[in-house]
Chains A and B, each alone.
Chain A
Amino acid sequence: MGSNMAEQHPVGFQWVVEAKERGASVMHVDPRFTRTSAMADLHVPLRAGTDIAFLGGVINYILSGGREFTEYVRHYTNARVIIKDEFRDVDELGLFSGWMPEDGVYDVSSWGYKGTQGELTAGKKEQTGDVSGDQAHGAHGMKLEHGEPPEQDWTLEHPNCVFQILKRHFARYTPEVVERICGVPREQMLHVAETLCRNSGRERTGAVCYAVGWTQHTHGVQNIRAAAIIQLLLGNIGRPGGGILALRGHANIQGSTDIPTLYDILPGYIPMPHPTSEDDLDRFVELNGPDTGVWGSLKSYTVSMLKAWWGEAATPANNFAYSYLPRIDGDHSHYPMMLRMIDRETKGFIVIGQNPVVGSANSSLQRKALANLDWLVVRDTSEIETAAFWYDSPEIETGKTRPEEIGTEVFFMPAAAYTEKDGTFTNTQRLLQWRFKAVEPPWDCRSDLWFTHQLGKRVREKLAGSDDPKDRPILDLTWDYPTQGPQKEPDAETIMQEVNGRHADGRFISKYQELKDDGSTTCGSWIHAGIYADGVNQAARKRPGSEQSWIAPEWGWAWPADRRILYNRASADPAGKPWSERKRYIWWDSDKRAWTGVGDNPDFEPDKDPGYEPPEGAKGMAAISGSSPFIVHPDGLGWLFSPSGLVDGPLPTHYEPHESPIDNLLYRERSNPTRQTFERPENPYNPPGVEPGGEVFPFVFTTYRLTEHHTAGGMSRSVPFLNELQPEMFCEVSPELAAERGLEHGGWAMIATTRTVIEARVLVTDRLRPLRIGSDPPRTVHQVGLPYHWGRKGLVTGDSANELLPLVLDRNVHISEYKAATCDIRPGRRPRGPALRELVAEYRRRAGVSS
């Protein structure tokens, strides 16, 4: 679900095909019948944006039928934990307890475990402006008082235990309701649920694959949470053949999250500091890390990172230069960043290997942001739309603006290609793989390593001698990297060494457990500690797969500590024995008194007895019992109910997409009440389908990618052999919609929202189908499919689907809703020049949206 694996990850899909050949059931739940559906045993078409309703139906099926893997659920999940009395599940309105209507956010304090002291109440100011406060993405859960277990009921019968709450919460998601919300025949949902149940348990496991089909919603995180609940109930986490697999779309999008170029985290998911902690490192640790579990050592991780960055300048006396880190106090993520550019608060912009004009929602808003900058640096291998926005854009075409009116100074810098530099990509399963440089970058092309290193060097030189305290972090930075070759490219391996870290005597760190909070160790990213263990580039291990076991431990290196399956303690029963011979993976060898297995590294202390119970006052990993696999959580349990970490509820709840043709059939709140909207002239929204003006945009559209192209096209529209495979922008519509709107197969269609109108060739196909949704009376909803790869530059051009989308974000992670919105469609090519603006204006008038 939420993934089109055969199309987007074809080579990964070989394993699915192979599994199917061996008897696995492959089911694909997706609004469209895709190449993945073609290979699946069953395709279930559902309305875009209704995944939680579908998954809720599955959860209800499991719970109401007693189909959960009871022993797993009782021991490994928080099903037995009792939640605070104050907690109230969603009511008819669709709101959990703690809703603060004036701010549009939750006070999450009532969602915690009973009997624990949660660090759950974030400052109100931070919550309203920003959810990445102490209590949000980046923070790592509530505190358990010194590992003291919360109140529990092992019989799972206490009315306020998680299991019972879960049962009640999902009881609404009956097959009938699912059918009406999703447009999925109930038999199909039940078939999926039954198949999942049958393929779970001791002898079997099932996996869930998702991708941005789940994340790009105003309830994206909760989509994944719903899957996590299913997998935990069925005992499919931490076991071979199980799991929830995020299929990521860029070569290093995982790596750029682990060692983040993201505003709210530091390497290894250490939260970015807020002003709250002021310059007190201990306060920061107290606010952001629980005492127990892996995060119990947050201070060691942070100090080691600060030592890696500021070296000698980071001392115990100055809190290891903690004050050198900038503070975040709001949502500084991608979309608010662009809005700040429009407001001329952000004046400079460096874009590296990304093409927001095509890849981000609301393209004209993106361009407007760029046009309001003082300076822009774009680094890419070809001249992408983001570099050319000032002379080639719809706004130029329609005469809305002219290059002369755009004051942005633009630097386009040719980047080195991946074959022209050493370095690692982290793949979708956390595996870091080293690439060897094949050739030197030609002409002005340089690696981004070179660019950053050079920029740092020059800034440091220009600031040298400054006595301004704000320049100290720059000047004190450890920045002497050896360079190589004619272009003086920095040696990437030395950076990996810094990431890995060293002891005071210069020895390389071999695992994160060695890190200290006294400044005696350095480590650029604690989860990567060990990647250079023994002075060897572990990511560059390339022993042929054919010479290894199926785990292939000597190919690349996986964080943390080279563990290939996370939470793999769960592959054994509470006593440490494999759940079954067939599915054995890691188990307790009582003779050797050690965890052993088929070749992976245990995600656990290697000698922790399964019967271990933490003593009073234990901290860190010592506070995790021998039968608690989920070591990243302070209680070591898998969370069916999320007592902290999320801002929109501890349990997944069905909400309609922001732009939806119908009301929420389950609750009064139509869409996620915590979603982030931006009421600005650049970002008009289509009226909801049920409100006046909504009828102007009666269809649902969803955006996606094709096998033959890559994301925003920078790496595929420059390649002739790919372009001939999918040369033109097209839309996919059902024969019924084509008949209704007079769309001609092979002809052209205009697709309209209040943002703009684009054109596309028409592909009429049964792979898109009308759905019957709602009740009293049910109505037919048509869906339009739009691939988003095209733009105005490159070897093939076409309108971008993202021109159509608004900014509306999931408040947990600030990802916009690309996957479901409303539109109109009509035959013909869109007007050129000023006539296009008139057409858009007309749509806005009809919909009652002010221009």
Chain B
Amino acid sequence: MKLETHAWPGSYGAEAKPRVGFFTDTSICIGCKACEVACKEWNHVPESSEGFTGHSYDNTVALDADTWRHVAFIEQRKEVGVDGAASLAQSASLDQLIDETGLGTYQEGDGLRWLMASDVCKHCTHAACLEVCPTGALFRTEFGTVVVQEDVCNGCGYCVPACPFGVLDRREEDGRVWKCTLCYDRLKDDREPACAQACPTHSIQFGELSELRERAQVRVETLRDAGAEKAQLYLHDSDDGIGGAGAFFLLLDDPEVYGLPPDPVDTTHDIGTSWKAVGAATAGLGLTLAAAVFGGRR
């Protein structure tokens, strides 16, 4: 299992701590949003009211500078299958409704599900935000996490579009970029992050990454055996485009359903191409200049 990152544990030597992270098991998320509140309380993240959105029970919309944990709510209607097992009244009711309104309704049991999932910064193994940050405000901590240092960030904004998950965001009134720190200060005192501590059902599990990954593997297999066909680990694979994440997830449907990219890539993995392109363009520009200056008639 490849847990190493470019700077962790390498740059820390003896100071390096075990790499820690989150395993968010969305199959037991009850959508209570304790994580959102506990995060804001601990980190003094400002209030960010978006008003009523109609996005089911999600009124905080997405991760941003003022939302470091975000609970997604997805109400899913399954195919209506009126089979012989359903009662006559129920079938009649369904048929009539469909006729009257042109709308299907769900048949209980396998007719409706309500997915809830707490999203957070992924603390990627290959973290684009960290790599593109020009100031070193973003850095890999001794715990292998990715943190923005508020005393360094000058708000250049580069990390914002660099993140393949749309996690990082600049706080308008403040000018700096803010995101989940995995409660860096708490980690230093051997305390688990506020969201994980609060999570009532242990949907958010904090711990050493190696242990979490094993636990997640067992869990997804259990769920699959129990018939959850689409149960899948997300960002668990260290060969994926971000080298696996420090905060990974067990999802019950495809990632995009939750607003997550299905195959995220750390753009820096291919920075060679970019530098080569810059080199070629630079050379080309030089040659063009030379051709223009020296190539004509005197």
Which residues of A are in contact with B by a Cβ distance under 8 Å? 6-7, 10-11, 13-14, 17, 21, 33, 35-39, 42-45, 179-180, 185-188, 706-708, 720-728, 730, 734-736, 739-740, 745-746, 761-763, 765-767, 769-772, 778, 780, 796
Contacts and interface: CB of A to CB of B under 8 A. Distances in A.
Contacts, number: 148
Interface in B67-126: 75, 77, 85-87, 89-90, 92-93, 96-97, 100-103, 105-106, 108-109, 111-116
Given A180-B89, A724-B59, A770 B36 contact: no
B53 to A, nearest CB: 8
Contacts of A766: 75, 77, 105-106, 111-112
A546 to B, nearest CB: 15
A37 B114 contact: yes
A735 B100 CA distance: 12
A725 B106 contact: no
Contacts of B103: 735-736, 739
A767 B115 CA distance: 12
Interface residues of B, number: 50
B51 interface: yes
A723 B50 CA distance: 10
A42 B109 contact: yes
A185 B30 contact: no
B114 A736 contact: no
Given A179-B90, A746-B54, 10 more contacts: A10-B34, A21-B28, A35-B31, A35-B114, A38-B30, A708-B33, A735-B101, A766-B77, A766-B111, A780-B97
30 contacts: A10-B201, A13-B30, A14-B202, A17-B30, A17-B202, A33-B114, A38-B113, A39-B30, A42-B109, A43-B109, A44-B108, A179-B87, A179-B89, A180-B89, A706-B57, A720-B49, A721-B40, A724-B47, A724-B60, A725-B37, A727-B51, A735-B105, A740-B101, A745-B54, A766-B105, A766-B106, A766-B112, A769-B105, A772-B89, A778-B93
Contacts of B53: 746
A319 to B, nearest CB: 51
Contacts of A44: 108
Q: Which of B37, B40, B100, B112 has the most CB of A within 10 A?
A: B112
A745 B89 CA distance: 29
B287 to A, nearest CB: 57
Contacts of A772: 89-90, 92-93, 96
Nearest to B90: A185
Q: Which of A6, A33, A724 has the most CB of B within 10 A?
A: A724
B152 interface: no
A42 B107 CA distance: 12
A739 B25 CA distance: 36
A494 B212 CA distance: 49
Contacts of A188: 108-109
B280 interface: no
Contact of A185 (B77, B87, B200): B87
B41 interface: yes
A763 B54 contact: yes
Contact of B33 (A707, A728, A778): A707
A725 B36 contact: yes
A699 to B, nearest CB: 15
A35 B116 contact: yes
Contacts of A179: 87, 89-90
A739 B59 CA distance: 24
Contacts of A770: 93, 97, 105
A728 B200 CA distance: 25
Contacts of B12: none
A770 B108 CA distance: 12
Contact of B37 (A11, A721, A763, A780): A721
Given A720-B47, A721-B40, A725-B59, A17 B87 contact: no
Nearest to A764: B54
Contacts of A762: 54
Q: Which of B40, B57, B85 has the most CB of A within 10 A?
A: B57
